[in-house]
Amino acid sequence: MEMDLLLAFLMCATLIAAWWFHLLLKWASGHRRRRCELTLPPGSMGLPLLGESLEFFVRIPSLEILPFFKRRMERYGPVFKTNLIGKDMIVSLDPELNSYVLKQDNKAFKIWYPESLKRVLGTVLEVTSSVSLHKHMRSMVLRVFGPENLRLALLRDMQGAARSNLSSWADRPSTELKAAVSSMIFSVTAKLLINYDASTSSAGELWKHYDAFANGLMSFPLNIPGTAFYKCLKGRKNIMEALKHMLDERKEAERQETMDFLDVVVDELNENPVLDEEFSLDVLFGLLFASVHTTSTALTAAVKFLTDNPKALQELVEENEHISKRRNDARSEITWEEYKSMKFTSNASQHIAPMLFRKANQDVHMKGYTIPEGWTVMICPLAAHLNPITYPDPNVFNPWRWKDISEPIGGSKDFLVFGLGLRSCLGADFAKVQIATFLHFFVTNYRWEVVSGGDMVLSPVLAFPNGFHVKLMQKT
C-alpha cells in the first residue's frame, strides 16, 4: 500500500514537473520569437548569468570612455545591447536617444537602479518612481537647501569650513586630499541635515562609512565577507543605525531655534505622514552620500587637473585674487555676487556624472531599433561630454571649452553633469557653491606640492586607488 502511494506520488510529481518544463520551453520559445520579431540593436549578451559584467567592471587608469563602451561603439555603433549581472539592457551613447529617454520619465520610461544600488539605498529608490512622492520629497529637501538658504547661510557655512580645514592641513607634512575633503564636506552637510557636529560627537568618524559605501556602489552584488559589496552593506547598516538613534532622540527633544532636515522629517512624520520613517531615513542617507562622495570626488579631481595644468591654475588664481583685492577687507566673506562672478572657477570644476538607468514601460521604436518593454537602458553621460563632434580634443582638460557656453538649466543632450529633465540633481547648486568656495580659499591662500598618488581610475565610477597626498604651504 505504502509502495503504491509512493509510486502515485512520484508519477504526479513527474507529470507536474513535465508540465512546468513544457510551460518554460513555451515561454522561452515565445521570448526568443519575440526577440526575433523586434529589431534589437546589435551587440552580444556574453556569458550565461554573468553576461559581459567582468569586462564592464575592469578599472582603467584614465578618464576616457571605458574600453567596454569604446570597443562596442566601434563595432556596433552608439546604441548596442548587452547583459550586465544577468540583466538584459541597451546601452546608449547617442545624445538624441539619451535626451529622449531622460525626458520620458514616468511616460515611456521609468527610473531604474541596479540591484546593488537598491540594496544599499533602500526604499527611497522604489518610491522615487512616483511623480507625486518625488515632488513631495523635493519640497522637503528645498526647505533646507533652497535658494534663499543657499545664499544667506550655506555659502557662509562652507566658507568657515574651508578656512578652518585648510588651516589645519597646512600644519601637516602630508594630507590625503580626497579623505580630508570628504570629512570637511560631511561636517557642513551633516550640520544642516542632522545638526551633527563631527568635531565633538563620539561618532565623529561616521563619514568614513561612506567610503565603503561608495567603493561598493557599482560593484558586483556578491554579499560575502571581503567583497566591496559586503563592506558597502556593512557601512550602510552602521550609518542607518546611527541615523535611527538620532531621529528617536529628536522626536523627544524640544524644538530647536534653527531648522535642519531632521526637524523637517519629524514634522512630516507627525503632521502629514506621506512618507514613512524608513523612507525618510533613506532620504537622509542618500543626501549625506551625495554630498560626501560626489562633491569630494569632483573637488579632488579638479585639484589634480589644475596641478597638472599650470596655465589653467594661473587663470584660476588670477580670477580669485582679483575678487579678493576688490574687497575693503580681503579677509571678509565671499558675497553671493562674488560667487556668481567666478566663471572660470566653475568651468574648471565640472563633475564626472555617473551612469543613468531607465526601464521601458512599453516598446519604444527609435533610431531604427526597438527598446522592448521591460528592458533597461543605460546612459553614459561621459560619452556626451567626451564627444569629439561637440568638443574638440575632449580628453584634454580644457576649462576654456566652456567659456562661451552657458550651462543649460536642467541639462541638455550635450551636458548631463547634473542629469536632465524631471530627475535633474536637486543638490546641484549646493555642490557648485561648495566647490567654488573651497577653491577660492585654496588657491588664494595656499600653494601645494604633490607628495604621492594622484592616479585616477574609472571602474566605472571615478576613484583614487592610491590616494592623492599633498603638502599645503601658506602663501606669504
Q: Which residues are annotated as a binding site for heme?
A: 425
* Residues of each annotated binding site: 425
d(CA 244, CA 277): 9
| Nearest CA-CA partner of 291 in 221, 340, 351, 378 | 351
Distant-in-sequence contacts of 244-251, Cβ < 8 A, 24+ apart: 244/281, 246/194, 246/196, 247/277, 247/280, 247/281
Cell triple for 263: 526637524
Distances (CA, A) of 213 to 111, 224, 237, 310: 21, 15, 10, 34
Cell triple for 190: 551633516
Kind of pairing between the strands at 175-176 and 468-474: antiparallel
Residue 332: DSSP 8-state: S
Distances (CA, A) of 83 to 7, 47, 48, 228: 43, 9, 9, 21
First to last CA, the chain: 100
Secondary structure of residue 47 in the 3-state scheme = strand
